[in-house]
A and B are shown apart, each in its own frame.
Chain A
Amino acid sequence: MSRLSRLIAVAANTFRETVRERVLYNLVFFAILMTLSGLLLGQLSIRQDEKILKDIGLASMDLFGTLIAVFIGTGLVSKEIERRSLYPLLAKPLGRGEFFLGKFAGLAFTLLVNLGVMTAGLYLTLVLTGRGADPVLLAAVYPLFLGFLLVVAFAMLFSTVSSSSALAAVFTVGVVVAGRFTDVIRNMRDVAPGVPPWAVDVLYSALPNFRNFDFKDRVAYGDAVPPDVLAWVTLYGVAYVAVVLAIGLASFRSRDFQ
């Protein structure tokens, strides 16, 4: 069995495990939300129903995806440690890198399926309620997925350095919240002029800027996202995920499980 096929096997097993844990049940809630929104908004919003439908659909994808990434992501490694199911796995011809990256790939696939079904649901609602299937929406869905990958990477990093999945979840939520307030950090000098500029710059650059993955408002009004912006966001996301995963992997490898 090659290294890649072992990694895929771990990923496939992680996907099955998340499905078994009823993670995809959030799709039922999403379907109910979309149906009710489609039925009710026309009467309530004074012709803003299409925009509000898109807002609700995209915000639900963002919220559910982030919650899954945090709470499943933090359990991927730490639960295996807590349950002591990691030891027999590592005794097999399976590298720690393959295990770690396989877990990441498995949850990434779960999130992709979840996001794909939600996107299809949003398009279906738009079409069934007489609006067009606007392809511009995909320009917001794709960066959301990149953001989820980054959240999973952080969740896995914290689950390797902390002793409990609850603590890892708290750390991950902290990073996600801070990453959504990066503009406050950038403008910190306005309210705290004594802070050295280099400290602000370091903090701003080091924290993940989750606003980079947020184009929901723009596409809800039908505005396209320029391809070069998407390309830079992709580079940012991939580079950041690679760094966090690498640190997480190094931490995982250095842990003594005896």
Chain B
Amino acid sequence: MRRLPLLAVLLCAPAVPWSQAQIDRRAGTYRAQEEVLYLWSGEQVKRLFPGFESLAADVYWLRTVQYFGGERLFSREKRFELLRPLVDISTTLDPRLEIAYRYGAIFLSEPFPVGAGRPREGIELLEKGTRNLPLSWRLRQDYGFFHHIFLGETEKAAAILNEAASLPGAAFWLRTLAADLLAKGGSRQAARRMWQQMYEQAEEGIIRQNAKVRLEILDSLDLADRLTGLGRELERRTGRRPARLEDLREAGLWRGPLTDAEGTPFRYDRESGRVFISQESPLWRPE
């Protein structure tokens, strides 16, 4: 009889982690993240944590990073409909959590499967950030960048960049970038400068990684355009359109690689004579 408690512990203790694993298997590992779909607005969540809003914001922020990835990627099958409420609750609980606006905006705006493919929502989030942190030139800079990169609204982007330039501590090149945007329109060169700035400003991690990929995409697009031009040159010389990209090499017009920055071979469309990033490539994005 005296050994009954010990026996109960020995029998029941293994059942705890085992049943937990069964629950996780059925309900999912990311239940906490998925619960945001059942929560009210960030304002109402804020009411639940009087005096502890900032800590609650940290909890929601950590859940966001755990699910969508931070220094490394965690969740594979991401449900992007969770991103907006998670970031929205984090930033309502702590309106000064600048990283959450920048992070949320990128992954809301990037096309699927990298992001949610909802750039309007990404820009709305940045707008909320500029309202809550009116002196943050970096947030306003991103707000301008995203108008240009994801919506193609060049004039609006230039106006926002000029606003960012007038904020204390703002980078000197914001005004020249705004002027370039107005002069050259939606050029790839302007987009390259924007992603280059985001790459240089970001700490190590997923935001910096995304900017690096974006720069590689621009490099690959430049290379694809160059190869398209060389194909036309070959067509002019020989009177016939190249059948494949290797023809450029054989004609001595090109000695470099015929792959994008990730090493995936380019796709050549013989009908139009144009070179594209292959859909097989991790650098491919819908146009």
Contact = CB atoms under 8 A, between A and B. Distances in A.
B65 interface: yes
Given A43-B70, A46-B71, A48-B97, A217 B54 contact: yes
Interface of B: 47, 50-55, 58, 61-62, 65-66, 70-71, 94, 96-97, 99, 103, 203, 205-207
Nearest to A179: B50
A16 interface: no
Contacts of A216: 51, 54
Nearest to A216: B54
Given A45-B61, A56-B58, A62-B51, 9 more contacts: A46-B70, A46-B71, A46-B205, A47-B99, A48-B61, A48-B97, A59-B54, A184-B47, A221-B96
B51 A180 contact: yes
A59 B203 contact: no
Interface in A199-239: 210-211, 214, 216-217, 220-221
B60 to A, nearest CB: 12
A216 B53 CA distance: 10
A44 B51 contact: no
Interface of A: 43-48, 51-52, 55-56, 59, 62-63, 177, 180-181, 184, 210-211, 214, 216-217, 220-221
A43 B55 contact: no
- Which 4 A-B pairs have CB atoms at the shortest separation, nearest pair first? A180-B50, A59-B55, A217-B54, A52-B58
Nearest to B55: A59
A253 to B, nearest CB: 34
B51 A220 contact: no
B159 to A, nearest CB: 29
6 contacts: A46-B70, A46-B99, A46-B103, A211-B50, A214-B51, A217-B54
A59 B61 CA distance: 16
Contacts, number: 61
Contact of B54 (A181, A211, A220): A220
B211 to A, nearest CB: 14
Given A45-B61, A48-B58, A217 B66 contact: no
Given A55-B54, A210-B51, A217-B53, A45 B96 contact: no
Contacts of A214: 51
Nearest to A180: B50
A45 B70 contact: yes
Of A46, A55, A184, A210, which is in contact with the most chain B CB atoms at under 10 Å from its CB? A46
A88 B97 CA distance: 57
Contacts of A43: 70-71
Contacts of B52: 59, 62-63
A217 B206 CA distance: 26
Contacts of B66: 44
B207 A46 contact: yes
A44 B59 CA distance: 11
Of A177, A184, A217, A221, which is in contact with the most chain B CB atoms at under 10 Å from its CB? A217
Given A55-B55, A56-B58, A59-B54, A47 B65 contact: no
Nearest to A54: B54
Given A62-B51, A211-B51, A55 B71 contact: no
Contacts of B61: 45, 48, 52
A220 B54 CA distance: 9
A75 B70 CA distance: 47
A86 to B, nearest CB: 34
Nearest to A144: B51
Contacts of B205: 46-47
Nearest to B72: A43
Contacts of B207: 46
B53 A46 contact: no
A188 to B, nearest CB: 14
Nearest to A43: B71
Contacts of B50: 177, 180-181, 211
Contacts of B206: 46
